[in-house]
Structure formats: C-alpha cells, structure tokens
Chain A
Amino acid sequence: MSVIYGLIPGMILLGLVSVLVFFWAVKNGQYDDMEGPAHRILDDDDMDDRKDKDDRPS
C-alpha cells in the first residue's frame, strides 16, 4: 500500500497541472469560439490549391 503515498500526491499534482492548463486556455480565449477553429484547421490543409496565388502581393 505504501506506493499509494507517492502516487496520490502525484495524481493531485497532475490534476493541478491540468487545472493550470485549463485556466491558461480560458484566459487565452480558447473557449470563446467553439466552432471556427474546427473549420480553420481544415482550411490550412488545402493550402496547395492556392500556392500559385500566394506569392502575389495582396
């Protein structure tokens, strides 16, 4: 059982890290727009079809 004495504080520590990550995410506005980024990542995938136009000044 003694392994528990190390594991549980470890668990809480990991949990705290995830809370900090969550706080960081909220502060950065990661939860402000729940739809847009899901589409944006698809858009970046097909950059190729515009390659010829990208070097134009716009």
Chain B
Amino acid sequence: MGRDSIPPSEFLSTSNPIIGSNNGTSCFHCGLPATGAAACTGDVAGEQHLFCCSGCLNVCRVIHEAGLDAFYDRLKKREATMAPPPDSPNDIDQYDLPEVQQEFVQNLADGSRQAHLMVEGIHCAACVWLIEKALGGMPGIIKAEVNLVHHRLLLQWQPEQLALSKIMQRLAALGYAAIPFNLDNAEGKLREQNRRLLFRMGFAGFGAMNIMWISIALYAGSFSGISIEDRDFFQWVSCTIATPVLFYSGGPILISALRGLRRAMLGMDLPIAIGAVATYTYSLWQTIQGGQHVYFDTVVSFLFIILVGRYLEALARRNASSATMRLLELQPRMATRITERGEERVAVRKLVAGDRLRVRPGDKVPADGVLIEGESHIDESMLTGESRPVHKHLGSRMACGTVNGEGSLIMRVEQTGSGTVLARIIHLVESAQGSRARVQRLADRIVPWFVGITLLLSAITFLYWVQSDFDIALLAATAVLIITCPCALGLATPMAIAVSTGVAARYGVLVRNGEALEGLSDITHVVLDKTGTLTEGRMRLSDIQTPGDRNRLLQLAGAVERHYSHPLAAAICAALEAEDLAFPASRNAQLLAGLGVGAMVETADGDCEVWIGNRRLMHNRGIAVDAAMQEVCSRIEAEMGVAVLIAADGKLLGLMRIEDGLRTGAVELIAELSRQGMGITLLTGDSAAAARHLQQLISTQALVPIRVIADVLPEDKVRAVEALQKQGERVLMAGDGINDAPALAQADISIAMGNGTDVSMECSDIVLMGSDVRKIPWAIALGQRTLSTIRQNLMLSLAYNVILVPAAMAAWVTPVFAALAMPLSSLLVIGNAILIRRHMQHRRSD
C-alpha cells in the first residue's frame, strides 16, 4: 500500500489542534462532530468557533466576509445541517476557454452569457439563499437562480466584467462544487419532452374541467327536459371544447395509432385512438343530426386521465436518468498535448489517436491509451471500485476519466471520445433506461388481440342490433368500444412500476428497469460479494499487538498520522478518537514514499522519534523485527489485513492490524434475508483464512448459517451463481467491483452499490445509492409488492371487462354509463398502484 499518493495540501496549517477534551461539540458550519485530527478552531467575526475540518472553516470565513452570516440563522431555523464542502474541482480556469464554453454557454443578444451549472452540495433552502445572495453581489452577474429540486444554477453574466471561472471559484469558496450542465444532452431533451407533455396535459385538464359544466347541464336537461335549441347550443359548445383537445392533447396518440395501422400493427394507442375518434365522430354526427346523446366529455376526460398517467411515468423515468449525468461529469474536457513546438492545451474532442499527452499529478486521464514515459499510481476507483491506486509503468494501459496520482506522465492516445471505456459505459446506461418489464411486454402482446377482439365484438354487436334498430345498434357498438377501451389494462403495469420506481428512488434505490422489480419478487437465494458490499470498503484499525502500553502506542501513532489523509492514517486517527485519547503534539513530519511516515512526538518523557510503516521501513531504518512479529505480519497479510509496524527511538513498539471492517447493517441484512427465507452465499476473493474469519464474525452475530466461498476469481463468481441457478434457485447478486460484473450479469437480478464502480452499476438491475445494505431486503419486499399490485390491477381490469362487455353488447349499458365506468376503472387501477407508496413508506419506517 503506497503512502506516496498523499497530496501535500492535506497538511493542516490552520489553527490549533483540538486535544481530546471537546467531545460532543459539533462543527459550527456543518454540524458534524468536530473531534479528531482534522478538527480546528477558527476566529470568525471575533468569536472562536469549532470546525470539523479546515474546509468548513474556510467556507465559514468566506460566508462571513461576504456579510452573509444570516445563513447560519436560516440553517438553524430549519434545523438543517450542512454537509462538509465537497472537493472543489481543480482546473476551473479551463471553463474560460471558448472551445470548452461553446458546449454549454449561450451567448445572448445583449452580449451577456447564460449557462446552467449543476451544483453539488446544495442541501436546503438556506443554500439557495446563500448562493443567490453571494453571487448576486458580484459585479457582472445579471442573474443567478438556483433550482432546489434539481440542484441547478441558472447564471447570466457579462463576460467582459467577470470570467466564468471566477464565479465557479466563488462557489467553490462557499463550499459548492459546480459543473457545467449541457441542455443539449439526454437529460435536457427529456426535460423538453416533459414540458410538451405538461402542455398537452394542462390543456386537456382545462377542457375536462370546462366541458363538465356543459355536461351537467345536458344530463340535467335529459332528465328534467330542455328545449331543443338550448340542447343544440350546449352540444355545439362541447364540440368546440373537445375538438382542440382531441387534436392537440391527443395528437401524439392519434399519430402513433395511425403509424401503427400503416405498419399493420394493432398498438396500445390504437384502441385509445379508435375509442376517442369513434366517440367523437358519433357525437359530432349526433350534434349535426340534432340527436340526443353526445359524449364529447368522455373523449376529453379520458384523454386527460391518460395524459396524467403518462406525465407521472415520464417524471419517474427522469429521476432515473440523473445517474447518467454523474457518469458524464467524469469525462475530462481539456488535455495537454505535446507537439514539436512544445506543450499546448487543447479540448479533448480535438485529440486523435497517436497524440502524445502530458498528464500531470492530480489530472484526469483525458483519453484511453498507453503510458510511454514516467511512472505513477492512478486512482481507477471510478472504473474498478478498487480503492487502492494502481501502479502504472511503461506500457501500462490508462483509461479515460481515471485520476493520476503523484507522477507526471506522458501517454499515447489510442481511443478518444465515444471509443473510450467510459463512453461505452455511458452509452450502456442510456440504452438500459428504455427497457420495459416482462409483464408490460405481456400486456403489449395481449393488446393487439384485445384491440382486435374489441373491434370484432363491437362489429358483432352492431350487426346484431342493426337488424332491429339502427340507433340502438350504434349506441351499443359505441358502448362496447368505450367500455373496453383498454386504458385500465394499459395503465395496470406502467402505473405500478412508475410508483414503485418513484418510491424506490426516493429511498435511494435506483431501479434500472421494470423487469428488475418483477424479478425481485421471486428471488430465493442471495449471493453477496464481500469487499465493498458486506464490508465498508474502508480501512479500520481492528487490533493492536504490543508487549507494552497499548494506549501509548496508539497515541504515538496518532500524533504522526494526523498529518496525513491516507486511508491507513485515517483509520488510526479514527481509532484514537473512538477511544477518546488525546493527540500529542508532533513536528517534523515526513513521508517516505511506499514505506511509511515518521515525526518527532512530544511526550511527557521528552521528545521521541516515531516511525510507522511496513517491514521494509523498519529494515530501512535499521530497526530489528523479531521472527514472531514477522510471522504475525505474514498472517495478517494472508487474511487480507494490513500490518502496520510502529517504532519509537529505534525500538519496535508493536504492530497495528488495519482491515476493511463490516458495514453497519451487514448483520441486520443477513438476519432480515434469512427471515424472508432466502438462502445466503458469500463470495470473496480473499484467502480461505480471511473468509473463515468473516464467516465466524457474521455467523455468531446473525445466528444464521451462511455458505462462504473463498478464493474466487471473477469467473468462479459466475460459476457459483450458475451452479445455484442449476439447482433451481432464483439468484440475486449484490456486488460493487468490476470483478463482480460478470456474476452480476449472470444473476437473475443484480444489485450494485452506488459507491461501487460504474461497470458494476452498468451490469446491474438495481443500484443502491448510499451504502446502506439494509435496503436490499426492502427492495425485495418492494418487488413482491409491485408484482402483486400489477396482478391485482390486471385482474381488476379483466374483471371489469368480463362483466361490462357482455352488458354493453346486450345494450343494457348506455354510452353515458360506459363513459362513467371507463375512467372509474382507470382510476381504480391508479389508486391501487399508489397504495404501493403508502405501504412501502410504512414498511420503511418500521
């Protein structure tokens, strides 16, 4: 584990360290506990405040200097807390370059510019206030408007007075990271579509509301008598309202039905279109003829209801697509190209295969390619989920979007733009979003038959009755058409899926497709990957072995490590805080890359030179490590832990064991799954010793027998899943790394952790945002509930048709009643679907 990837900026230069005494106090800015190594106090507005980290302190100072202290009052009023500021994006000045700006900035007629930014860190209305006030005060800003729901900032500014990078720096200083948001991309287009749908729905709603008044008059008139002129007048008014609603609001439905007919396919929209057009034509004919019954209100109200359903569905789908946005943000925009004339900054889209690029420390790799000069560690966690940086040397492959560590590199470009691994992942996510549930496909398969049968029945009805009376025949045939309008059937599945995906998304469970919800319901066996799923994917101090004083060892270690932000250092500092021990003062901290760290620590018995690191460091420093200790080190490393040795004044003090601990909720997850009757298998790439260790840990705590398979390679994971499937199990797989991807794809249903890799998220049906694994049983319950609701809905609409169609064919049902019954059946189905939300929210609060 290399210690050489620590950015020097992580050194804490601000204020005095807090020495153990103020536990229970919280950070003035974000409200998190302000204890431990990173905590500091700062002087703001003449008062001493406590902060959890220097980031929070800086943000607080900026807010104060801008005269916006009222922000904290607002925050308090809402009983809200901030999150610590996100890492601000480096390379902000690239956004001033014209070729970068042309992707997302609009030039307005008056010379000002306008852009949408995605702002990370927006948290509540107080943030909105802060951003708008702070930016509004900058000269050159014309407009700054924050959208709280979508975390977007609309900016309009004068480019001569103010550079965009200055605005973004200001945001970063306030603790918000901003990324340009391109309206032309997939999400922008989706927004435009939703807006058009909202227009159509709103217009149909207007029609439905107004036409009802006319209908009341007409219904009342048909019972208590009405003069012919008045009736004609009301009918013509209805017609005036219904015509634009049918052709504007219902336009897309009519067009899609026509398109289906032209291709000789009986589509979902066809019966709706036939129902609407037939009812409309009949009513129009009645109106012209001076007949008694018009059903313009039917046309308008069912179009309205259908559009409401489609709008709700569109909203749910839009929630899912914001995940794609996050992936797109990974794409770098600028690269440094090396030419004969020297180095130049170019936009990534101008790169071609064969270009030589300079990648500086901390830069994102701008394209896929091969390393041709230099050596470094590269953080590939966004692609692989592997949190340790990967060592890259001559000839190593580098992937677009990964982050360079400490070394300056030169690479040769092989793939750019849409050819890169990252771009392919983004493409996969986008295409996955258009999928439909199997039940939905079943419904889609039934619909043509349903439509055909409806038309047939309607024709039979007409032919049967026309022998006795034409008017009865037309009424009965229309009633059949209206009453069998398969809205309920069509809405049964999408409504349930839309409601479920919505509930799930709110709870941080991202469902990729409707099929996944359905598949969740018949899962019998759960396969869990260890690293990152059951464990935190984060280092934790689990054991200390020393012949001497344990607390003294920990304090000496903490005194040195608090200067660093490396995962191992964080683990040691966290342990110190957990045990409520003070951090002694230390100076002359130094880092030996790949070996360890050291510093002079001030103790009660005078200064003491402390070294912390691996066996090579001890060897390097001439400190003896005896055979017993050597053996312990080897054993810890065999169990996938990290053995960290510590020495003071040239003498070995002892050893700390640091490993990736179990997640909170992991035990509850196992207990809950076994309560639901699931079989559980645990897969791990670790050695058998490490697996046994884990099995013991979980089995004793959860009181459930679990099968653990150790030493698995990615292919073995697939085989383990396959073997279970051969035994007739329906397998759910949860994992997070690129090595889980094949197994995730093989499993019937797969769940990826949101903090895992994009590849594993890609192969999975469901993504858990956040890291609470207890959501897995909840998701299974949601799937079961969704499927049973879909079945209920299908039964409801079928029962409805079976009862009412014969009645309509027998001419017992007037079209008026049919028109009333039809929306009622749809509403019943929608209402039943919405029950999922109440049910699952209730379950969540349990």
> Is A36's CB under 8 angstroms from B67's CB?
no
Q: Closest CB-CB distance, A22 to chain B, in whole Å?
A: 5
Which size bracket describes the interface of A in this complex? 20 to 34
CA of A36 to CA of B131, assembled, Å = 13
Contact between B125 and A53 (Cβ–Cβ < 8 Å)?
A: no
Residues of B within 8 A of A56 (CB): 67
On whether the beta carbons of A58 and B67 are closer than 8 Å, the reply is: yes
CB contact between B68 and one of A15, A33, A58 (< 8 Å): that residue: A58
Complexed CA–CA distance, A12 and B238 (Å) = 10
Contact A54 to B198, CB < 8 A, known contacts A19-B203, A39-B125: no
Contact residues in B for A36 (Cβ distance below 8 Å): 125, 128, 146-149
Complex Cα gap A26–B237 (Å): 27
Q: Are A33 and B202 in contact, CB atoms less than 8 angstroms apart?
A: no
Asked if B799 is an interface residue, CB under 8 A from chain A, the answer is: no
Q: Which of B73, B199, B214 contacts A26 (CB 8 A)?
A: B199
Query: Is B774 an interface position by the 8 A CB rule?
Result: no
Say how far B249's CB is from chain A's closest CB, in angstroms. 11
Q: A40-B125, A43-B125, A53-B68 are in contact. Are A32 and B202 (CB under 8 A)?
A: no
Residues of A near B69 (CB, < 8 A) are: 53
Contact with A along B92-129 (1 / 0, CB 8 A): 00000000000000000000000000000000110011
| Chain A residues within an 8 Å CB radius of B133 | 58
- For the residues of A in contact with B, the DSSP-based class is helix
Please tell me which one of the listed residues B128, B129, B206, B230 contacts residue A4 in the complex, with CB atoms under 8 A apart: B230
Enumerate chain B residues within 8 angstroms of A43, measured Cβ to Cβ: 74, 125, 129
B210 touches A11 (CB 8 A): yes
Please name the residue on chain B nearest to A15 by beta carbon.
Answer: B210
B195 touches A26 (CB 8 A): yes
Interface status of B233 (Cβ within 8 A of chain A): yes
The answer to whether B125 touches A4 (Cβ under 8 A) is no
B68 touching A23, Cβ below 8 Å = no
Q: Are A50 and B198 in contact (CB under 8 A)?
A: no
Q: Bound state CA distance, A4 and B128, in angstroms?
A: 50
Q: A34-B149, A53-B69 are in contact. Are A1 and B230 (CB under 8 A)?
A: yes
Report B's interface with A, CB cutoff 8 A.
65-70, 73-74, 124-125, 128-129, 133-134, 137-138, 146-150, 195, 198-199, 202-203, 206, 209-210, 213-214, 227, 230, 233, 237, 240-241
What are 18 A-B residue pairs whose CB atoms fall within 8 Å in the complex?
A: A1-B230, A4-B230, A12-B241, A23-B199, A31-B198, A32-B147, A35-B148, A40-B125, A40-B128, A49-B73, A53-B70, A54-B67, A57-B137, A58-B67, A58-B68, A58-B134, A58-B137, A58-B138
Given contacts A22-B206, A33-B148, A58-B138, could you give 10 more A-B pairs where the C-beta distance is less than 8 Å?
A5-B233, A12-B241, A18-B206, A19-B206, A33-B147, A34-B149, A39-B125, A40-B128, A42-B125, A54-B67
Could you list which residues of chain A lie within 8 angstroms of chain B, going by C-beta atoms? 1, 4-5, 8, 11-12, 15, 18-19, 22-23, 26-27, 31-36, 38-40, 42-43, 46, 49-50, 53-54, 56-58
